[in-house]
C-alpha cells in the first residue's frame, strides 16, 4: 500500500521561521568567531572583539530596547517565529550572558597572552614597575586630573546624570562622619590606554586603573575605601512624531536631546562590585534586575579599537590599495560614462572616482544642476564639499535630501543640513513617515542643444570613510530612461507626486515589493516550463515574511535559490517540502559585506539589480529605497562570474545555515583550493 504523503504546513507557520533578534545575535557570534580565528592577524582579531562589543551596545540600544518598550506596553503580538516580546527578551538575556562570558574569557586567556608574546602588554597599574607607576602618576596629574569632575551623591546633591555608553567609577570614600558615594566619569575624550615607557615592545595601562590609583588627589582628606567601574546602555529607539510636527528639523533635534535621558536597558558592572554599591546604582538608574551583567575584566571592550590600531604592520592585514579603472583617468569623465555604464566594487575599486564625479560636476560650466540623497556622510565629507563648491562658487542648482532620521547620525546630519542651507543649497529633510535610505546622485548637464542626465547609484552611503571598509557596488550611467526616472524620483522627494511606476528603477515603497514578487513568480513559471529556474540574492538581512513566503513557493516549485545573507536571516533553508532547494551562506571577513545584488536567471535573459534595500519590512514598506538594473552584458557577466560565483565558492570565511538555525564554517575539500572571496577580489584588482 502506498505511503500517504505528509501535507506541508502553511507558509505562515511560525515553525518555518527563525527569530529576528536571536538571528542577529547569531551574527554577533560569527563576528566573535573571526576574533577566535587564528588565521587572522593578531591585531585584526583584537579589532573583531572590539566590533563585537560595539555591536552589542547598538543591539541593546535599539533591538532590545524596542522589545522592552513592547513588554512594558503590554504588547503580546507574536514574532515571526511565534514568540511574545517577553519570551524573546528572556532568550536574549540567556544568549548574551553566554556570549559575553565567552568573549571575556577569550580576551583574558587567549588574546592577552598572545599579545604579550609579540611584546604588547595590556597591564594593570599594580602590575607595572615602581618607575612606571611614577610615570603614570605624572601623566595623571598633568593630563587626566584637570579633566575629571567628581560628583557627590548625598542628601544635598542629587544622583548625577549618567550618559549613555559612558564608563564610570562608583567611588566609596570615608571620613569621620561615615561612608560617602561619588561618581567619576572616565573621560572618553582621552586615550583609554596610557602607554608607559618600556625598553622593548609596548606596554599599556587602562585609563580607569590610572584614575583609580590616584583617587586620593580627587578626594583630599578622605580615605578611599574602594572604586568600581560601571557602564550603562540607554534606550535609543525613539519614534519621531512627525505628523504632529510643523518642523521636522526641530523635532529631530528635540528627540536626540531626549534620548540622552531615556531609560537604562543594560547595566554592566565588574563581578567584584559589592551589593551596597550596586544598590545605589540600581535604585537610581532603575534597570531591570535581569539586565544587570557582571563581567570578569575591563568594561567596554569596544575600546580595544585603540589597541587594534597600533602600528604593527606584521600584525595587520596587508595594506589594500584600491584600483582605479582607466576610464577615470580621462579628462572627460562624462564622455567615459556616455560611452558605457561603469561599475565599481568597493573597497577593491577606489571610492575616489565617486568623489571626483561630483567635484568635476561642481566645476563644469555646462553642469546646471546637482541632486543627491545623503544618509550617512561621515565627517569632513568630500561629497558635501563638492556640493557646496557647486552651489557657492559655481552657481549650480543644488538640491540635497539629508535624512535626519539616520540612526546615530542625526546630530551629524543636522549639522550638514544647516551648513548646506546657509550656503543657499536646497535642503530637504526627508519625508513624513519614511526614511530616505536610497543612494542616488543626479547631474544635469547641457551638451549642445540637449540636456543630458548622468546618474550615480549605489548600494552604500556617500561616505568616503566607510567606503574603505564596506563592500559595496556603485554604477555610473547616462541611460536616458534611468535619468528620467531619477528626475521623477527627486520630484517625488522634494515636491508633490503621486507617481507609483518608473521606467527602470524599482523604488520602495512604491513598486519595489511588487516587482520583486513578480520576478520571483516569473522564475517559478519559467522553472515549471523548462526546469532552469535560478535566483541568487545577496543582502545584509532577510526578514520580510511575504518575501520569504515567495522564496518558499519558488523552492517548492524546484527553483534553485542561493542566498548570501550577511546578518540576520529569518528563513530556514533545507526544510523538507518547503525550502529544500535553498542555501543560505553568511560571509564575515576583513570587510563588512554591505552590497545588495538580486539576480534572476530568467531563462538565460539574465536580469540583475543592485540597490540600497534589504528584504526587510522597513526597507520594502517604510523607507525610500532605490534598486536599479544592470543592463550592460559585460557588467552582468562581471557580477555573475567574478563576484557572485566567487562569493558562492568561498570556503574560508563562509558559513552555511542549516534548517535548525545553526551556522557551520565551510572548509575546502581535499581536492579543492581554498577560496577567500574578499582576498580574491583584492588580488584581482591589484593586478
**Distance, C-alpha 176 to centroid of its chain:** 52
Q: How far is CA 250 from the centre of its chain?
A: 26
Please work out, in degrees rounded to the nearest 5, the angle formed at the alpha carbon of residue 257 by the alpha carbons of 495 and 462: 50
In the predicted structure, residue 350 carries a pLDDT above the cut 90: yes
Annotation: CATH topology of 15-315: polyphosphate kinase like (3.30.1840)
C-alpha torsion 220→224→228→233, nearest 10? -30
Write down the pLDDT at residue 685: 76
Q: Give bridge partners of residue 609 from the DSSP assignment.
A: 598, 629
Res 388: pLDDT: 85
**Residue 244: predicted pLDDT:** 40
**Above 50 in pLDDT, residue 4?**
no
d(CA 597, CA 600): 10
Residues ≥6 apart with Cβ < 8 Å to 311: none
CATH number of 507-686, picked from 3.30.930.10, 3.30.870.10, 3.40.50.2300, 3.40.1160.10: 3.30.870.10
End-to-end CA distance of the chain: 65
CB atoms within 10 A of CB 128: 19
Q: What is the mean pLDDT of the chain?
A: 91
245 pLDDT more than 70: no
Predicted pLDDT at 418: 75
* Res 377: pLDDT: 77
With CA atoms as reference, report the closest residue to 24 among 651, 413, 541, 668.
Answer: 541
User: Exactly one of 231, 345, 346, 437 is catalytic; which is it?
Assistant: 437
Predicted pLDDT at 240: 43
- Distance of alpha carbon 480 from alpha carbon 452, whole angstroms: 8
**For the packed helices 545-556 and 512-530, what is the interaxial angle rounded to 10 degrees?**
10
- Where do the CATH 3.30.870.10 domains begin and end in the chain? 326-499, 507-686
Is pLDDT above 80 for 479?
yes
The answer, yes or no, to whether residue 251 has pLDDT greater than 60, is no
Rounded Cα–Cα distance for residues 271 and 297 (Å): 8
Q: Alpha-carbon distance 128 to 556, whole Å?
A: 65
Is residue 212 part of the annotated active site? The answer reads no
Write out the H or E segment, with its range, that includes residue 555: helix 545-556
Task: Please tell me the distance from the alpha carbon of residue 375 to that of residue 440, in angstroms, as a whole number.
Answer: 10
pLDDT score of 338 more than 50: yes
- Quickly state the pLDDT bin for 3 (edges 50, 70, 90): very low
Query: Tell me, what DSSP letter sits at residue 389?
Result: H
Residue 406: the pLDDT is 52
- Cα–Cα distance, 438 to 286 (Å, whole number): 39
- 622: preceding bond cis by omega (within 30 degrees): no
Quick one: pLDDT at residue 496?
73
pLDDT at 481 over 60: yes
**CATH fold of 326-499:** Endonuclease; Chain A (3.30.870)
At 255 the pLDDT is 56
Question: Does residue 2 carry a pLDDT above 50?
Answer: no
The verdict on pTM exceeding 0.75 is yes
- Rounded to an integer, what distance in angstroms lies between the CA atom of residue 248 and that of residue 414? 11
Amino acid at each position: 500500500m502506498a505511503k500517504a504523503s505528509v501535507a506541508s504546513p502553511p507558509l505562515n507557520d511560525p515553525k518555518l521561521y527563525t527569530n529576528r533578534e536571536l538571528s542577529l545575535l547569531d551574527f554577533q557570534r560569527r563576528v566573535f568567531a573571526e576574533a577566535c580565528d587564528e588565521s587572522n592577524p593578531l591585531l585584526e582579531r583584537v579589532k573583531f572583539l572590539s566590533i563585537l562589543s560595539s555591536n552589542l551596545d547598538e543591539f541593546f540600544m535599539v533591538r532590545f530596547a524596542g522589545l522592552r518598550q513592547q513588554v512594558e506596553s503590554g504588547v503580546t503580538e507574536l514574532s515571526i517565529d511565534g514568540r511574545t516580546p517577553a519570551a524573546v527578551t528572556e532568550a536574549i538575556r540567556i544568549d548574551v550572558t553566554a556570549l559575553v562570558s565567552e568573549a571575556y574569557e577569550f580576551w583574558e586567556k587567549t588574546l592577552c597572552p598572545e599579545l604579550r608574546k609579540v611584546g604588547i602588554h595590556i597591564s594593570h597599574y599594580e602590575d607595572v614597575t615602581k618607575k612606571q607607576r611614577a610615570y603614570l602618576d605624572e601623566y595623571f596629574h598633568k593630563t587626566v586630573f584637570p579633566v575629571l569632575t567628581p560628583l557627590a551623591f548625598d542628601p544635598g546633591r542629587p544622583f548625577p546624570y549618567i550618559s549613555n555608553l559612558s564608563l564610570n567609577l562608583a567611588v566609596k570614600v570615608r571620613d569621620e562622619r561615615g561612608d560617602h558615594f561619588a561618581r567619576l566619569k572616565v573621560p572618553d575624550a582621552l586615550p583609554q590606554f596610557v602607554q608607559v615607557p618600556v625598553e622593548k615592545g609596548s606596554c599599556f595601562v587602562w585609563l580607569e586603573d590610572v584614575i583609580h590609583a590616584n583617587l586620593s588627589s580627587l578626594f583630599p582628606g578622605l580615605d578611599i575605601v574602594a572604586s568600581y567601574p560601571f557602564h550603562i546602555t540607554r534606550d535609543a529607539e525613539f519614534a519621531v512624531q512627525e505628523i504632529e510636527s510643523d518642523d521636522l528639523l526641530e523635532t529631530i533635534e528635540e528627540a536626540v536631546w531626549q534620548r540622552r535621558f531615556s531609560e537604562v536597558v543594560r547595566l554592566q558592572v565588574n563581578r567584584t562590585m559589592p551589593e551596597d554599591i550596586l544598590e545605589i546604582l540600581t535604585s537610581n538608574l532603575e534597570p531591570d534586575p535581569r539586565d544587570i551583567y557582571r563581567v570578569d575584566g575591563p568594561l567596554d571592550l569596544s575600546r580595544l579599537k585603540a589597541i587594534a590600531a597600533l602600528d604593527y604592520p606584521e600584525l595587520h592585514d596587508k595594506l589594500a590599495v584600491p584600483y582605479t579603472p582607466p576610464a577615470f583617468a580621462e579628462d572627460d569623465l562624462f564622455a567615459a560614462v556616455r560611452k558605457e555604464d561603469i561599475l565599481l566594487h568597493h573597497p577593491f575599486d577606489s571610492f575616489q572616482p565617486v568623489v571626483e564625479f561630483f567635484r568635476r560636476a561642481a566645476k563644469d560650466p555646462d553642469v546646471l544642476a546637482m541632486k543627491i540623497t545623503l544618509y550617512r556622510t561621515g565627517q569632513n565629507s568630500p561629497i558635501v564639499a563638492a556640493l557646496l563648491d557647486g552651489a557657492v562658487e559655481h552657481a549650480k542648482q543644488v538640491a540635497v535630501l539629508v535624512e535626519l532620521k539616520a540612526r546615530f547620525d542625526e546630530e551629524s546630519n543636522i549639522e550638514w543640513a544647516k551648513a548646506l542651507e546657509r550656503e543657499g543649497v536646497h535642503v530637504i529633510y526627508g519625508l513624513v513617515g519614511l526614511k530616505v535610505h536610497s543612494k542616488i546622485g543626479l547631474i544635469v548637464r547641457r551638451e549642445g542643444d540637449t540636456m543630458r542626465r548622468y546618474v550615480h547609484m549605489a548600494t552604500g552611503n556617500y561616505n568616503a570613510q566607510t567606503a574603505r571598509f564596506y563592500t559595496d557596488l556603485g554604477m555610473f550611467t547616462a541611460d536616458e530612461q534611468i535619468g528620467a526616472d531619477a528626475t521623477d524620483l527627486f520630484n517625488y522627494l522634494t515636491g508633490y507626486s503621486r507617481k507609483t511606476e518608473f521606467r527602470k528603477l524599482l523604488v520602495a515603497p512604491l513598486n519595489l515589493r511588487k516587482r520583486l514578487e513578480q520576478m520571483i513568480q516569473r522564475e517559478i513559471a519559467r522553472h515549471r516550463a523548462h526546469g532552469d529556474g535560478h535566483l541568487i540574492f545577496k543582502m545584509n538581512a532577510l526578514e520580510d515574511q511575504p518575501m520569504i513566503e515567495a522564496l518558499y513557493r519558488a523552492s517548492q516549485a524546484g527553483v534553485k535559490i542561493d542566498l548570501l545573507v550577511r546578518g540576520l536571516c529569518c528563513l530556514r533553508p533545507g526544510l523538507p517540502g518547503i525550502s529544500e532547494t535553498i542555501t543560505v551562506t553568511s560571509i564575515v571577513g576583513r570587510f563588512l559585506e554591505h552590497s545588495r545584488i538580486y539576480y534572476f536567471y530568467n531563462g538565460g535573459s539574465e536580469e540583475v539589480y543592485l540597490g540600497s534595500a534589504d528584504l526587510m519590512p522597513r526597507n520594502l514598506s517604510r523607507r525610500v529605497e532605490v534598486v536599479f538594473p544592470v543592463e550592460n552584458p559585460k557588467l552582468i557577466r562581471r557580477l555573475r562570474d567574478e563576484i557572485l560565483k566567487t562569493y558562492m565558492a568561498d570556503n574560508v570565511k563562509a558559513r552555511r545555515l542549516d534548517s535548525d538555525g545553526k551556522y557551520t564554517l565551510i572548509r575546502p575539500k581535499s581536492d579543492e583550493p581554498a577560496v577567500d572571496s574578499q582576498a580574491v577580489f583584492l588580488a584581482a584588482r591589484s593586478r
